[in-house]
Structure 1
Amino acid sequence: MRYSLIIFLLLFNAANTLGGEDSLQRKGNTVPLHLGHDYGNEKSTLELLQHQEDALKRDTTWLKVGGAFRLNNLYTHYEGQTFPLGTFLRNEWTWDTWRLNVDAYSEGIQLSFEYRFYPTFNTHFLKYGWLGYQFTPGTHLKMGITQVPFGLLPYASHSWWFQLPYYLGLEDDHQMGFHLSHEADTWQVDGAYFLLSEPRGTNEATFGAFSTARYSYDVVPVPGNSNIERHQVNIRLAKNWSAHETGLSLQWHELYNMQTSHSGSHWSAAIHHDGNWGPWNLKAEAIYYTYNDVRNDSGEVLDVVQMGAYGFGTYDVANSAALYVLGLAYDIPLKWGPVSQVQLYNDFTLMQKFTAAPAGSTGRYRKSQQNVFGALVSAGQVYAYFDVAMGYNHPWLTNAFGGNALGTGRGLDYRQPVSALNPTATDPGWNTRLNINIGYYF
């Protein structure tokens, strides 16, 4: 938390230096300073990514400072159990996160970054941080930690939760490299090259490996399995027509073992559609991915890879699968005190795995599913997500966090690894979490 205090003092000092004015003096010119942002009424605008794209098209000099403070309440029903109030990560109120956002533009160059703090888990990290340059009104380049151009953008989800691809590094992923985007008429083409995953932040060792202190889910090194992602290439093509977007995405990257110098690979493809009909929004996506010849430190080919984020322990991910994503939302404008809009939504993902388990026919890999029904309520600068999240062979929605849910699927004893004596459960059942996230965005 010492870093939080340092940043707070710097901002406080900056505010005093400004003397309450809304501008900065630079080289004798006035630079507008904007405190806060217009966050709109949906997830894509609430997380600022749409504003960054619009800002690249401006030709004035400006600076924006904003952020968010969020609280979270959860109540769970996992493996047939409920828990008394005050049980950690089962039935409690927590301080979810606070974040700092800075965006600036001057002489053709844009700066944008977001840093996040998660006090409950004692972890903090950079979500993104990049410099942008606009070559033409339709062509711009981002350099740094940027969002990967893959599939539905900026999100495949409407809820506070993400769709299942996020937990596989295939939604709202951020990497270190270069991203070039070009718009022409109704077409948009994105190409990107990423040298490495985003740099890790800081976390509490009792929660998980230091390599997992990051926002995006990546293949991360752990003892006995020293693989990292590097040399990633992305191509995305999208066609905009009326209030709809249809697109195709391709991704490839190397899996490099830092102990043995062996290289495997990953590739994935996605088709997506994002459509609007009046107050209705539909997000649909199909993804296929595979990991090829990825080996552990002993040289053994892996049927699962280890992925992690948020400072928690890693979990198994099947080395080949298809995901089917469907999300539907409906906007309801309101004039009820401070409440201006409610968005109702339902987001669903099915993950069908293609890897054969080592336990034989009785231990084949089982599907994973996630469904989130909920509402986003907008009231001035306060935004609240009310979600009922349900998971089937899900790494988060369970008493056995992480583990093999996205790999083989849970065993008959869900707390133990799958083996000949503990084959995968044919029907592990659904787990449910009621989640309320209330945030003040400034």
Structure 2
Amino acid sequence: MKKLNITLSASILMALASQTALADDLNVGGSVRGNYSYSDYSDSSQDKLGDFDFNLLSVTFSDKWNDIGVKAEYRFYDGYDHLKYGYAFWDVNDDLTINGGVISKPFGNKGYASHNWWYSLNYYMGFEDDYGVGVSAQYQKGSSLSEFAFIKNAVYGGTDHRDFAGTVAKGTVDGTTYNNEETNTFAARQSFTLTSGDFTTVLGASVEYGQLYNSDFGENGDTLNYAVHLDMNYDGWGFQAQYLAFDFDQYDDGQLDPDKIGMGMLDGFYEVSSKGNIYTANLSKSIATSWGNLTIYNDFSMVQPDVEEFDDSILNSTGVSLAYGPVFVYVDYYMAKNVLWLGGNSLGLAETHDDWDHRFNINLAYYF
């Protein structure tokens, strides 16, 4: 059934593109991506000398009429598809923009908190490149950027786990059933951009508060998360840092461990620590050449749970990306300890083994 849905969705998107391709302000694009990986924690990967797979097909739309516009991206994977974002926006004036639809949550380092294809651990906890259904506003005045959002709920609700980033959701892991869904979340980010010659520094802080609704009992828990973040650039060098404190305080129905909570994303469901800190530190260097732009980087992130019996989750990503015309390539080497989908099965819980896991990864993308 999912393959049929993908075919129908693709047909609809291509039909829309063909009908509107002549519009002056409409931009239709997307990407096709493939991925090679070699993982030392997978016997089959080692036996086959790695795996090369279709990664995704994405289709993007944008259009604007005077001060009103729309933007959307839909993605197709092997076995499922989902909307990453899709919203209308209104440029009220030169300083203020209002958005409505499936919008980006203003929280943490603006843009990305990482350079590599796997992102940082913030992403899997719901704090990087995260989206939800709601309204938002951005107010830019000089060096100050103020962003606010009200997110009513996750893009696909509580039981469908196709959301793009980690989302508190309903599901079962190893016999434990979680019955939470994110709703009525308020998020805000304030940042200041300071420049001096070639040196640019973006200082910021973020906060979010929202409900965690348990439909079985008709009760609410809540979540309160905050972060301070820094992004510095000088002559091609970049440094990012972030401290983030998270607290998912779900309704205690007496049937689960309140120190754990279930999350869904990218058609998967998993457990994470419900309270703790996330530390991020990234260093990069961009090099312009006559045949493309190179970025060399090392990205580090760590989830530190607020429970003595649990263990830290650590991810270090060393790599290089290449942008050459419509082609973009990531070449990454991941070292992970107690990390979901990188040799581990959770984030910030008791580790299943005391070893470091390693993965070599190449992601190839063609943008059209």
Shared fold, TM over 0.5: yes
Number of the residue aligned with 1:376: 321
Distance 1:148 1:109 in 2: 21
Number of the residue aligned with 1:430: 356
Of residues 207, 214, 217, the one that matches 2:163 is 214
Q: Is the 8 Å Cα contact of residues 134 and 152 (structure 2) preserved in structure 1?
A: yes
Of residues 304, 308, 319, the one that matches 2:274 is 319
Q: Is the 8 Å Cα contact of residues 6 and 80 (structure 2) preserved in structure 1?
A: no
Does the alignment pair 1:181 with 2:138?
yes
Of residues 187, 190, 208, the one that matches 1:234 is 187
Distance 1:303 1:144 in 2: 33
Give the C-alpha shift of residue 12 in structure 1. 5.4
Q: Is the 8 Å Cα contact of residues 79 and 431 (structure 1) preserved in structure 2?
A: no
Listed as ranges, the matches of 1:257-336 within 5 Å are 257-296=214-253, 298=254, 300=256, 302-312=258-268, 314-335=269-290
Listed as ranges, the matches of 1:108-127 within 5 Å are 108-119=67-78, 122-127=79-84
Listed as ranges, the matches of 1:392-407 within 5 Å are 392-398=337-343, 402=345, 405-407=346-348
What SS is found at the alignment partner of 1:23?
coil
Distance 2:98 2:151 in 1: 13
Choose 209-218 or 224-233, whichever is displaced more: 209-218
Of residues 72, 78, 94, the one that matches 2:35 is 72
What SS is found at the alignment partner of 1:136?
coil
Distance 1:116 1:322 in 2: 31
- Identical columns (%): 25
Structure 2 CA distance for partners of 1:233 and 1:76, relative to 1, 3 Å: same
Give the C-alpha shift of residue 3 in structure 1. 4.1
Give the C-alpha shift of residue 432 in structure 1. 0.6
Structure 2 CA distance for partners of 1:300 and 1:438, relative to 1, 3 Å: closer
Distance 1:437 1:395 in 2: 19
Does the alignment pair 1:347 with 2:299?
yes
Q: Is the 8 Å Cα contact of residues 193 and 202 (structure 2) preserved in structure 1?
A: yes
Q: Is the 8 Å Cα contact of residues 6 and 81 (structure 2) preserved in structure 1?
A: no
Structure 2 CA distance for partners of 1:436 and 1:210, relative to 1, 3 Å: farther
Q: Is the 8 Å Cα contact of residues 72 and 85 (structure 2) preserved in structure 1?
A: yes
Give the C-alpha shift of residue 10 in structure 1. 4.8
What SS is found at the alignment partner of 2:160?
helix
What SS is found at the alignment partner of 2:171?
coil
Q: Is the 8 Å Cα contact of residues 383 and 440 (structure 1) preserved in structure 2?
A: yes
Distance 1:239 1:146 in 2: 22
Distance 2:16 2:132 in 1: 30
Give the C-alpha shift of residue 387 in structure 1. 0.4
Give the C-alpha shift of residue 17 in structure 1. 5.8
Structure 2 unaligned segments of length 5 or more: list them: none
Does the alignment pair 1:138 with 2:87?
no
The count of aligned residue pairs is: 358
Choose 5-14 or 130-139, whichever is displaced more: 5-14
Q: Is the 8 Å Cα contact of residues 35 and 362 (structure 2) preserved in structure 1?
A: yes
Q: Is the 8 Å Cα contact of residues 35 and 361 (structure 2) preserved in structure 1?
A: yes
Distance 2:142 2:357 in 1: 46
Distance 2:85 2:221 in 1: 27
Q: TM-score scaled to structure 2, two decimals?
A: 0.92
Number of the residue aligned with 2:332: 387
**Bigger CA radius of gyration:** 1
* Cα shift readout 1:225-284 (whole Å, capped 9, x = no counterpart): 211000100111101111221001011111110110111111111001111101111111
Counterpart residue identity of residue 96, structure 2: T
Distance 2:18 2:190 in 1: 47
Number of the residue aligned with 1:2: 4
What SS is found at the alignment partner of 1:322?
strand
Structure 2 CA distance for partners of 1:304 and 1:15, relative to 1, 3 Å: closer
Q: TM-score scaled to structure 1, two decimals?
A: 0.77
Structure 2 CA distance for partners of 1:348 and 1:407, relative to 1, 3 Å: closer
Distance 1:66 1:294 in 2: 43
What SS is found at the alignment partner of 2:124?
helix
Structure 1 unaligned segments of length 5 or more: list them: 25-31, 33-61, 201-208, 357-363, 415-427
Structure 2 CA distance for partners of 1:183 and 1:260, relative to 1, 3 Å: same
Distance 1:409 1:167 in 2: 17
Counterpart residue identity of residue 434, structure 1: F
Distance 1:14 1:293 in 2: 42
Structure 2 CA distance for partners of 1:283 and 1:321, relative to 1, 3 Å: same
Listed as ranges, the matches of 1:53-68 within 5 Å are 62-68=25-31
* Cα shift readout 1:45-93 (whole Å, capped 9, x = no counterpart): xxxxxxxxxxxxxxxxx1100000000000001289962117xxxx210
What SS is found at the alignment partner of 1:225?
strand
Give the C-alpha shift of residue 212 in structure 1. 1.2
RMSD value over aligned CA atoms? 2.1
Give the C-alpha shift of residue 294 in structure 1. 3.1
Distance 2:101 2:41 in 1: 40
Number of the residue aligned with 1:203: none
* Cα shift readout 1:309-358 (whole Å, capped 9, x = no counterpart): 1112x2211111111101111111112xxx311110110012211124xx
What SS is found at the alignment partner of 2:101?
strand
Number of the residue aligned with 1:163: 120
Larger strand proportion of the pair: 2
What SS is found at the alignment partner of 2:127?
coil
